[in-house]
Structure 1
């Protein structure tokens, strides 16, 4: 019997051009760090820190592990660096232009699942702080209270497609893998849940001209 549904966010619940958004994101975030890094160095550090999360052994949360990698060589600026990230996500992130659509009948489907009492998990790759997720959900007029759990930089210690990420979710919601369904658009990151025993469903909205 199905006990919970895990839902990816980007190009599953919200359909948009991720590459175009990433370029605008970089244009707006790098100036906040200009007193410490050139745009190229900032980009290098950010990518290194994001990619490094794949190696998080789980002893610390993703934010701590991210900052460990990002701040290499400038550890004395760590508090200032996180302050810049936090301020950016709290005030500027939502102003980045983005064209978003949602899958057909998204709201009725989510409402039906709620009526059935099925817990929903926002199982988005936990690379960003919770404030950023709330703003991304707002693109689709969704609110956090639809979900029993949102995975983000602060409450997770693994990322997709590692099995440890899905195991952590299962432990947090107190379910068995075989009773959960992971829904997403990425055949690598999302279908990796199947290795732990979760049922999986690959969406195709993002590949049918919606992004």
Structure 2
């Protein structure tokens, strides 16, 4: 029986173009550190270290550790000098990136419905950002972090999407059974891959990413309203008051 629903964030709960959001973040960080790095050079370093983090499959290093191990090799500055600047960016400057984003009403309706019916809700966002940035993006989506029993961030996770190890880690950390879980996301490669270990899936099409041009006809899919209606078919797990 389904008892857990996992959600991607960017392009799913948060109606946004993921590539544009990441580029805006890179540009914002490069501006923040422009007194230390030439912006174009910094963005190249940031991208390279981010890709090393995403592709790392060493289980003994968190994503944060992999990122900074890579990044610090490319710069003469110590982590103690850089981290306060990164932290200040995510605590303050980062908020401005959410301007112009409009939350979708069906997102909160879906989460409310699941919470009312007793489902465990997990935020399975690609853990390439610190938790402070993820919590900020939840605000842009009009969603309270209290909906989620677990949020994947780069401080605690050891793998990234699109690798199946990412989903295995969630399952193992939370002692879940894959067949009891649904993964809802907008990326055919990064989110629907979870079906390989037995998760049921739903693909949100509004900001769909399908870089491999895969046939999605056999996948549960639709827009935000369809997502709500898909979830609305799930039964109550608890007794209604």
TM-score normalized by the length of structure 1: 0.91
Residue 89 of structure 1: how far off its partner (Å): 0.4
SS at match of 1:137: helix
The match for 1:149 is: 150
Contact 2:9/2:123 (<8 A) preserved: yes
Higher-Rg structure is 2
For 1:109 and 1:97, the matched residues in 2 are separated by 22
Change (3 A) 1:47 1:73: closer
The match for 1:13 is: 13
Residue 30 of structure 1: how far off its partner (Å): 0.7
The root-mean-square deviation of aligned C-alpha atoms, in Å, is: 2.0
The match for 1:4 is: 4
Contact 1:185/1:204 (<8 A) preserved: yes
SS at match of 2:6: strand
For 1:84 and 1:209, the matched residues in 2 are separated by 39
Cα deviations across residues 144-199 of structure 1 (Å, max 9, x unaligned)? Answer: 11000010010101000111110111112211111111100100000111112111
Cα deviations across residues 118-157 of structure 1 (Å, max 9, x unaligned)? Answer: 0010000001001101110001221111000010010101
TM-score normalized by the length of structure 2: 0.81
Change (3 A) 1:120 1:39: same
For 1:150 and 1:161, the matched residues in 2 are separated by 17
SS at match of 1:206: coil
Name which structure has the greater RCO, CA cutoff 8 Å, separation 6+. 1
The match for 2:230 is: none
State how many pairs are aligned.
Answer: 210
For 1:30 and 1:209, the matched residues in 2 are separated by 35
